[in-house]
Structure 1
């Protein structure tokens, strides 16, 4: 990185600078601004890409948007919704067989393990919602602005950027930078961060179009089609807003006439079609070996490039990245007692998940066919395990000695509130309002127990250390539908206490070895917050 600092440009100051304003960068801006962190986003384009790109946004992603208070702006799918795919000769020709995402797995209804069901909204329609919500919370968006260079200046980063329309250069001084600048991240390259994975597989040509006649063939409930012809292999899918996209090998340039011919070949007969746009993208799998370097964090495709999957391992992984990072940045920026070591847990927690999702993606039939024989397929994990049962391991969770041999993901019913895992979902009553347990853990650390002595200790330690801890007295502050549900859900006794992070991850739980409750809680809390 260039070390030279110029004093001749207009300057802006912010806590966090986000480079890249697609879905992950915008989500980072939303989560930070919602947490009252000053944030600037620079994005070289004026608006979203015409290509829809991601279409499925998972329950976990929507839980994060729910926490930020914007869930009512995002249409959710029905609880029995399924993303189904079939291998066919053509849309109107012979249909061979339906292809499951995870072989031999029966997909369960949504809304059972989560208070939300997910969304089948195209990325180019979701981005304006997230963009406006981020602005409403105070995020400063510099659209049509590209990064020229980043300059390290001791306690932070100086970014030199250019407004493309006005051709004006100015500087932004930030304490931290989030690199959401895509799979070919120039920031990652400047930092010299290496990548690993299956690498480049092929380039894909995608063509977006309207075809009203073709919608008749969606009545069977299949939305995705693998076109399998002797001389033509392609992928055809439909978006709920009426658009279709066809994808196939991009081995040369194509005229509009060529594209129409391929579309009709996939459809199987002549229909009226209206091409919207076309483009090329790279099918690849690559994971950055470092998610953080100094004051800079990699998120989204800059950290993990993965192809589109029915499991939502692409954009959704990036949204989960920035939800994990946002509360940590908030605590370090807004509380002098929280050490910067807390930020180091971002890489420790998110890199293993990125690599797990890489392995799970290319071990599934959808993509296993494209990798070479050196790739060793892994045992497939269930959709529930990958979505709700991921386990993080860092100094921001207090695990015991048995955790080293635990899997990175398992069905959430197995975890029962284990440290490093997401809080189990259950409906509770608070102030006569029906909410999810997930809704209880969004703004600060929370101590939850039936034993008031633990909560009194939490209040005392919060005051002593100067770090917020909310306390929840089960049976008083919140009510489960059944008195025993709390103990069963977390596999604890009525005398135990659980400490939950602001991202609904269990940070610590009391054990029988806690002789002195005060000392036990205080030491645990100091460790998980990197207390100075």
Structure 2
């Protein structure tokens, strides 16, 4: 009997946060997607635990930010603490910038929340079909799409899907990457690790000071949910005998805990560190851990993957709907590969430094060496001050038209129109991946500026290109009939801050990155058509 073939415009492989976010974004764009996940359900493990400020901006656009925040920890948990045990005093501490408190550069704040709390919210954000317990076993590219062979474990039968494109978000051990023979570059496996989920009934007098994670010489500990639950993770013991997880967790808790942990679940995993040799193979594109496996310390991996699909999905929609050509998809690789390498480099260096600190503290405790003084962590503030890395990403590709002028003064970090507050002094030049200096140069994320009392420029972008100008009258001509295009009024006080004169304009892509800038005069319809043609590699017939 012939196998029935299902049709989809985009087949998403992998049902983690990256694949689920892609599903929600594509549905918003009106693209028919099908998601398949080899596991029978969403992961029950906490796994990634930090949703940074940029991801929350993306979720704000999907209408999810408020719900995610409501189920997350309070901002004071946006901090890391280094201790001998959970109930010792701090050797050192560092804030997660943009999580522990609001920042003026964004209308939202990042949160500490567990992945098993985040994924259900993402699953409920779209109606596109999801098939759990279905494993990809083969891919064959054809002239007009890709035929994927799938095995449904529940039914014990093979099915096939014909899709115009495949988006692979199936993790560090990606089946798609393996089927396509795509190699990886980077350190590779950094070691075997274990996560232990446990309960511990601390009384209020012994509850530790709030933090998203406590780094101890005996492994790291973090609270799972505001209502309770804990997780320990650390290197898997190298021993021929089975590990006593209760004993290991108890050692990290310390005698001051006054409780014995109740171990609920144990998960073994490998800390990987690599970037795929290419992010695109014909009609298949890699995102998330399939494209770049980033060590989890610092919470960069999942968030980088969410930014991947935010960059990619509007481009896929343009090709599917016909207002862009497949050439636009090549800019996904051009724009996201440098980000992947930069993120990996920072995460690997700091993960190694963290493990070195933990090892030194453990040796001090074992030898009885004094540890009364603060532990020197010159990298901690740099590592957890990530705004430059998450908000300051710059794209250089054919989908960005540079204006060739000197950078404008930095914007006013989102001062509300009615506040009457003078813009702050320009910050010092940023270090790599740390400080963020807002700029309206093409290629950068459009800075957060208040268009009205409660509406940010971040809220103006979605399933369309946006033309920001002081005088929007009669600016949209025939170009708006071919490309999705809207116009927004830019307030007078923001013109100079965006490097614009009174009649200038910015063209912002659906992902919020500036595609073009006209400093002196808003573009005529023919100029705008030429710009959009160049960016999307397409033009109306």
**Are the aligned partners of 2:38 and 2:134 in contact in 1 as well (CA < 8 Å)?**
yes
1:469 and 2:479 aligned? no
Shifted more, 385-394 versus 109-118: the winner is: 109-118
Quick one: structure 1 residues 370 and 179, their matched pair in 2 at CA, closer, same or farther if it must change by over 3 Å? Answer: farther
Match of 1:392 in 2: 395
Match of 1:46 in 2: 40
Shifted more, 413-422 versus 316-325: the winner is: 413-422
**Are the aligned partners of 1:58 and 1:316 in contact in 2 as well (CA < 8 Å)?**
yes
1:98 and 2:111 aligned? no
- 1:244-290: CA deviation from partner (whole Å, max 9, x where unpaired): 11122214479887111111111123513221100111112101121
Match of 2:162 in 1: 173
CA distance in 1 between counterparts of 2:320 and 2:246 reads 53
Quick one: structure 1 residues 227 and 409, their matched pair in 2 at CA, closer, same or farther if it must change by over 3 Å? Answer: closer
- The partner residue of 1:451 within 466, 471, 482 is 471
- Is the partner of 2:124 in helix, strand or coil? helix
**Are the aligned partners of 1:388 and 1:411 in contact in 2 as well (CA < 8 Å)?**
no
Q: How many residues align?
A: 491
Task: Trace 1:59-138 onto structure 2 (pairs within 5 A).
Answer: 59-75=53-69, 81-92=76-87, 94-100=88-94, 109-135=101-127
**Are the aligned partners of 1:203 and 1:250 in contact in 2 as well (CA < 8 Å)?**
yes
Quick one: structure 1 residues 218 and 427, their matched pair in 2 at CA, closer, same or farther if it must change by over 3 Å? Answer: farther
CA distance in 2 between counterparts of 1:387 and 1:204 reads 26
- Is the partner of 2:12 in helix, strand or coil? strand
CA distance in 2 between counterparts of 1:159 and 1:115 reads 41
Deviation at 1:70, TM superposition (A): 2.6
Match of 2:510 in 1: 502
CA distance in 2 between counterparts of 1:403 and 1:82 reads 40
Deviation at 1:380, TM superposition (A): 5.2
Quick one: structure 1 residues 108 and 133, their matched pair in 2 at CA, closer, same or farther if it must change by over 3 Å? Answer: closer
Quick one: structure 1 residues 215 and 423, their matched pair in 2 at CA, closer, same or farther if it must change by over 3 Å? Answer: farther
- Is the partner of 2:144 in helix, strand or coil? coil
Task: Trace 1:309-328 onto structure 2 (pairs within 5 A).
Answer: 309-310=297-298, 312-328=299-315
Match of 2:534 in 1: 527
Quick one: structure 1 residues 249 and 149, their matched pair in 2 at CA, closer, same or farther if it must change by over 3 Å? Answer: same
TM-score (norm 1): 0.85
**Are the aligned partners of 2:77 and 2:100 in contact in 1 as well (CA < 8 Å)?**
no
Quick one: structure 1 residues 425 and 240, their matched pair in 2 at CA, closer, same or farther if it must change by over 3 Å? Answer: same
CA distance in 1 between counterparts of 2:215 and 2:436 reads 34
CA distance in 2 between counterparts of 1:515 and 1:130 reads 38
TM-score (norm 2): 0.83
Quick one: structure 1 residues 403 and 147, their matched pair in 2 at CA, closer, same or farther if it must change by over 3 Å? Answer: farther
Deviation at 1:78, TM superposition (A): 8.0
Match of 1:363 in 2: 349
Task: Trace 1:2-41 onto structure 2 (pairs within 5 A).
Answer: 8-41=2-35
CA distance in 2 between counterparts of 1:325 and 1:408 reads 28
CA distance in 2 between counterparts of 1:515 and 1:120 reads 42
Match of 1:238 in 2: 223
Match of 1:145 in 2: 134
Match of 2:244 in 1: 258
Match of 1:220 in 2: 209
CA distance in 2 between counterparts of 1:357 and 1:96 reads 28
- The partner residue of 1:277 within 259, 262, 265 is 265
CA distance in 2 between counterparts of 1:199 and 1:495 reads 52
- Is the partner of 1:116 in helix, strand or coil? coil
- 1:447-504: CA deviation from partner (whole Å, max 9, x where unpaired): 111134xx635423333xx212212234xxxxx4xx31x2144121111011011111
CA distance in 2 between counterparts of 1:408 and 1:146 reads 43
Match of 1:4 in 2: none
Match of 1:338 in 2: 324
**Are the aligned partners of 1:101 and 1:364 in contact in 2 as well (CA < 8 Å)?**
no
Which stretches in structure 2 are left out of the alignment for 5+ residues? 358-378, 408-428
Which stretches in structure 1 are left out of the alignment for 5+ residues? 1-6, 372-376, 475-479
Quick one: structure 1 residues 107 and 190, their matched pair in 2 at CA, closer, same or farther if it must change by over 3 Å? Answer: closer
